[in-house]
Amino acid sequence: MVPTFSGKNPELKPVLADLLRSGLGRAKSEANPTIDLLMRVAVIKFLRAEMNAQFAAALERCRTTLRSYEGVRQQKALEYREKVASFQIGKKNILRQVGQELFRLLREIDREILAAMRRSLFGDEIADYQLFLTQLIFLEEGRDSYLASEHYVLIGGFENDPDSFGNIRAAAIEFLQAVAPEAEHASASLLDGWLNSPENAHQLVGTGDPGERAYKPRLQLWADLLQRDKLLDFVLAAYEVVALLPDFTPLLDPQQLKYALVGRKERERVEKLIEEHGKLSIKSLASAVDRLEQLDGAQRAKVAARFLRDFLRYHRDLRRLEVLNGAIEKVNLVGSEKLRDLSRLNGTLYSFVLAEETGSGAHEKATMRHVVLKADIRDSSRLTRSLLERNMNPASYFSLNFYDPVNKLLSKYGATKVFVEGDAIILAILEREGDPALSVSRACVLAREVIEIVGGYNHLLQRAGLPALELGIGLSYQDSAPMYLLDGEHRIMISDALNESDRLSSCEKRMRKVMAGMGAPFNIYEFRGAEKAESEQMRYNVGGIRMSEAAFKRLQEEISLEQCALQFPRLWGSEETVFYSGLVPVGADIFRRIVLRASRVPMIKTTDFSLANWTEASIYEVCSNSAVYAAIEKRSAEGN
């Protein structure tokens, strides 16, 4: 018999218990039991990989030691070479013992700590954790003769074996169909479910005790089926093998012993191997053969009943292993720090740490949703040429009058810079787990403050005879976290909100000319051409803040918006416009008012820009016109 696992690490069990307990606590805090299941799968995948990695590392250390003996101590090198070869040949047995020890630890932890904790946190209506409590979890294919002999029953390991899993399963299904009429037309999944319930064995054939008369006809039918398919002798031998293992392993595999008990030719071959070994006696093998030959019908039937129960247990655990392996394939253990950072940025990283590591700052709260704000400077090429003609540095001009003032606002609103280009800046406000749900409302106030600051600088620039900066801002909301790529240490955001904010901030040159002659009272408009050839969107955004429809709907959830009646000039008089007013908390006892304008998109004749019809689409503007806020204040004062 291969020596049992020794040299146990006393620190492993408390570490595993702490880790598994922390995963269960996190599942409770997030009200999501599947997080605990995910952690369990990841732990098993890690332990599987670590078993092989540690064996490979130990083997490499052995080889290094062996090389140090070569050419120096030949006799010692020869002895050590045999030990290394024996260690390498015994890999499967060693890994099986390690796996059984790890399974024992996990089973103890679940029984002593986790089971009660799970019931306390989630009650009894939780997932079937028995998936992780089968003897097979550290066998990727679920086939091991020693483990099957000790904990289930030894059946053929290959498909062409007479007592293979497939042959026995076929016999079990035939038996079910014979004793249960509904099984004859049952689906494959239903039959599989019946075979996954070991308690069905007792209901069908009992324990094989002679006093159980009610089960006798079905038990006899089951035994006859096994005998007909020449399986019963292998079944009987499988149970005799267990007592022989201490005497003949690792010289003989359990399968060799089983077939030796059944067939004379195989027995002669095994006896010859035993004689060549010299140190083993064949008496126990001969005694086992005698016991099998002396079994009467009642004893054989009792073993058949036991076998049905043990096979159904193995069938169930093998199916559980298949489910577990499928889950393991979908879990990626990240070893690279760069990949870990990238996964964390993209919200696909689940990090489980020990209790003493929870305060290490390794965790960053998950991003739930985000807002992107793009501020675009109009006609930057013309502006750059104008500055160069005056022998002025355009970079310094943009920096002093645009970038620097905006940078000072970022910390105030919890915004970050996503991208800066020559004539635009893109900002993001990330709403993380546990943060106040105010990302859109704060982005609106930030956008309005950017417009006001740039307007103040423009006043000073115009007094100095310098060209002013003309802005257009787009504000887009996405109800999910952004994705990221990493370019070295630089994060590159990927989000649909980026493209949408770019469209919302845009303004067509021809629209600036048209709107200048129409005396537009607001800063945001959009038109659709009535002619099919001109049906594209025509956008106008000069000094305005345009938000997406999704951002507007989210804003209605974040703060209370009061619809208010304001009278302002309209382009055609029939324009349907609704105003909303609300207060946004930006700090302790600090609130900023925002006014929103919602208006229908008109369809126009592009030849003379006259109104043709109104579409169902709407545009949403965070008003930046000071006259709007003055009207709100006047209305509020009159109400008081």
Rounded distance between C-alpha atoms, residue 618 and residue 577, angstroms: 10
Domains annotated for the chain, with CATH where assigned, are 1-133 (no CATH), 142-302 (no CATH), 334-363 (no CATH), 367-639 (3.30.70.1230)
Q: Rounded mean pLDDT of 11-34?
A: 86
Pick 346 or 599 by higher pLDDT: 599
Query: Is it the case that residue 518 has pLDDT exceeding 90?
Result: no
- Write the DSSP string, 509-550: HHHHHHHHHHT-SSSEEEEEESSGGG-SEEEEESS-EEE-HH
Model confidence at 517, pLDDT cuts 50, 70, 90, reads low
Residue 86 has a pLDDT of: 86
Burial of 257 (0-12, 13-18, 19+ CB in 10 A): buried
Strands 471-478 and 545-547: parallel
Model confidence at 362, pLDDT cuts 50, 70, 90, reads very low
Query: Is it the case that residue 469 has pLDDT exceeding 90?
Result: no
Cβ 303 vs Cβ 309: under 8 Å: no
Strands 471-478 and 367-377: antiparallel
Pick 318 or 9 by higher pLDDT: 318
At a CB cut-off of 8 Å and minimum separation 6, what does 64 contact?
A: none
Query: Is it the case that residue 317 has pLDDT exceeding 80?
Result: yes
Query: Is it the case that residue 4 has pLDDT exceeding 70?
Result: no
Q: Rounded mean pLDDT of 477-493?
A: 83
Query: Is it the case that residue 228 has pLDDT exceeding 70?
Result: yes
Model confidence at 640, pLDDT cuts 50, 70, 90, reads low
Which region among 50-59, 231-240, 432-441 has the lowest average model confidence (pLDDT)? 432-441
Cβ 153 vs Cβ 238: under 8 Å: yes
Q: Rounded mean pLDDT of 191-204?
A: 93
* End-to-end CA gap in the chain: 94
Q: Rounded mean pLDDT of 469-489?
A: 87
Query: Is it the case that residue 415 has pLDDT exceeding 50?
Result: yes
Quick one: tokens of 98? 């390690």
Asked whether the CA dihedral 415, 417, 418, 423 is positive or negative, the reply is positive
Q: Rounded mean pLDDT of 404-416?
A: 89
Residue 289 has a pLDDT of: 93
Measured CA distances, 23 to 18, 20, 36, 172, 339 (Å): 9, 5, 5, 40, 22
CB atoms within 10 A of CB 54: 12
Question: What is the identity of the amino acid at 558?
Answer: E
Residue 3 has a pLDDT of: 30
Rounded distance between C-alpha atoms, residue 9 and residue 4, angstroms: 15
Strand segments, DSSP code E, in 193-345 are: none
Residue 27 has a pLDDT of: 85
Read off the pTM: 0.66
Residue 442 has a pLDDT of: 93
Rounded distance between C-alpha atoms, residue 100 and residue 299, angstroms: 32
Rounded distance between C-alpha atoms, residue 151 and residue 96, angstroms: 13
Pick 71 or 614 by higher pLDDT: 614
Q: Rounded mean pLDDT of 66-78?
A: 78
Q: Rounded mean pLDDT of 287-316?
A: 95
Q: Rounded mean pLDDT of 254-271?
A: 93
pLDDT tens by residue, 380-409: 777 778 888 888 887 777 788 888 888 889
At a CB cut-off of 8 Å and minimum separation 6, what does 316 contact?
A: 195, 196, 197, 198
